[in-house]
Chains A and B, each alone.
Chain A
């Protein structure tokens, strides 16, 4: 049985179910309370669970994120909402120097059950400080698990796993997805970390696409199938841990790999994935690995400038077409 809800509702359901399941789960962040979340991902939760468990914070990202670490070390299981990944930079010390490292620095004395939800994605004319996809930064520093869900069903199942996880998780939602309708299972379910999802099978090229690009890659693949190009689309779901086995098996089969990710091209997660896989795929490759990312420029405001930069279905189509032309 399935039901049709939006991506934002799916996030909200995951939080609600986990809060009902475990009284130590709480959520804090800017506008999560009265407003029900800037992106409507916490609607009705404050009414249901009260002000202490659904806490509107002042605009103090570094400290309310740091507070969540103090909570997670003392028996709670906080969920923190950082409205935009751009704002996570204000909390970089707490995220990267404290949360990511405290277990290691303490010699394994502590568990850090903490979920940090944030958003990525351009396309809302929000300009350079509200549109970035900064998940590669979270992957660079050891100690965080990094989740980049694609559809609503994926987001719900992965978020429930994140909340139950005893390590810090950066859970990255794509803001252009929030209002999209999706079919999701009625029953309760979770999706494990470190298991990539093969969205579409094919034998000619492997497209590893993150977040909402995974869904766009499927559409591009449907189009290209009509032209005889059989594309395997894989949603890695989690960047840390990365399901190397599924990716390697696919690339060995197809001999070609394209990675699509909405982060800036330079130091993009694509480079890391390719280097990581290379020892296992090198002799199976027919072509150099390719990537489709955001060009190395800040995101401009005007839609006339913004959309030409954002990786999308059409750019995927063209990129793959070109690989097969060459």
Chain B
């Protein structure tokens, strides 16, 4: 898993792309920090699962996707949504339960969806998005399009039946889907290494007869490189790939869970030292790709965008109580179903 490519230029990405990568990761981080802020200010109810420390994965993966492709997310979904181009204002408004949110306040953090951008939704059930992604891939094949699908899920989801069932079918039918396992080592408090005989999830691909690749999930360019190959395979009709991104959840399971009792301080420190944004920033500067000033401008751009989103959300109205009774069924010809 050691990075073979010491220099950023080996990846043959334009400066514009590299700037975009950095900006996306910073936007995700800033969004999550803003969530912590609105939560502590008592503006946010319920749950939000932060993506801090895992930004390189969504960013590296989604760089391969076009607006026509599909992405299926998880309960820890803010990063996937931002990387796939969701509107940050509407995301923040949803997290704050406002009428202007993506789901008009009906979904919250765990159910943000943007069907117009092919984002088929975050999901509150671990592993439940995997079949949906597989079905979208079947649909792309059925309709004869060049679309591909990314199915994001965590290490814990890889122990759900849907992981096995879905990958098995995608392999059998050579569906255009890339399964991206974000192995952050913990399912809430349970350490993967304590509940799984072989914690290398990518190894399981062998059993399905598909390629399985493990990659440093904190190295955005490596994530991009590995998934790039996987998406090309998918688009060429060669079937699915399982990509395991080794990473670490820097915060607790969700915003109200500090994540202190179940992990080793030493391990945590080591991962934070390898923070995906910090290390990428250092490389960009060290290799003289981007100046310190350009970086600062990007960071300012992100900060302003997120602040604007928080303001938009805070100033947005809550939905009216009667809206709880809407959107259950699609109604045709004015027929109302109870």
Give A contacts to B, CB under 8 Å: 26, 52-53, 57-58, 60, 62-76, 93-94, 97-98, 102-112, 142-143, 145, 166-167, 194, 240-242
Contact = CB atoms under 8 A, between A and B. Distances in A.
A107 B139 contact: no
What bracket does the count of chain B residues touching chain A fall in? 35 or more
Given A60-B165, A93-B125, A94-B131, A103 B136 contact: no
A64 to B, nearest CB: 7
A74 B133 CA distance: 10
Contact of B134 (A67, A102, A103, A242): A67
A26 B169 contact: no
A74 B139 contact: yes
Contact of A107 (B104, B134, B165): B104
Contact of B107 (A76, A107, A145): A107
Interface in B209-243: none
22 contacts: A52-B141, A60-B161, A60-B169, A63-B166, A66-B166, A70-B133, A70-B134, A70-B139, A71-B136, A71-B142, A73-B120, A93-B125, A97-B125, A103-B327, A103-B330, A104-B327, A106-B102, A107-B102, A107-B104, A108-B326, A109-B102, A142-B328
A52 B161 CA distance: 24
Interface in B128-181: 128, 130-143, 161-162, 165-166, 168-169, 172
B132 A97 contact: no
A64 B175 CA distance: 14
Contacts of B105: 107
Contact of A106 (B111, B326, B329): B111
B131 A64 contact: yes
The 6 closest A-B pairs by CB, nearest first: A70-B135, A66-B131, A67-B135, A63-B165, A107-B103, A108-B327
B172 A166 contact: no
A176 B166 CA distance: 33
A79 to B, nearest CB: 13
A140 to B, nearest CB: 14
Contact of A62 (B101, B165, B329): B165
Contacts of B130: 63, 66
B103 A105 contact: yes
A67 B166 CA distance: 8
Given A62-B161, A67-B131, A98-B123, 9 more contacts: A58-B172, A62-B131, A63-B166, A66-B130, A66-B132, A98-B132, A106-B106, A111-B330, A142-B328
B113 interface: yes
B109 to A, nearest CB: 12
B67 to A, nearest CB: 14
Contact of A63 (B120, B161, B327): B161
Contacts of A145: 329, 337
Nearest to A192: B335
Contacts of B70: 74
Interface in B62-108: 70, 72, 101-107
Given A67-B169, A107-B104, A75 B328 contact: no
B171 to A, nearest CB: 11
B60 interface: no
A106 B338 contact: no
A26 B139 CA distance: 10
Nearest to A110: B115
A314 B116 CA distance: 56
B121 interface: yes
A256 to B, nearest CB: 25
Nearest to B105: A107
B260 interface: no
B3 interface: no
B328 A66 contact: no
Contacts of B131: 62-67, 69-70, 94
B14 interface: no
B106 A93 contact: no
B296 to A, nearest CB: 37
A304 to B, nearest CB: 37
A76 B141 CA distance: 11
Nearest to A109: B115
Contact of B136 (A58, A62, A74, A110): A74
Contacts of A72: 135
Contacts of B123: 98
A66 B142 contact: no
Given A74-B70, A166-B330, A106 B113 contact: yes
B325 to A, nearest CB: 10
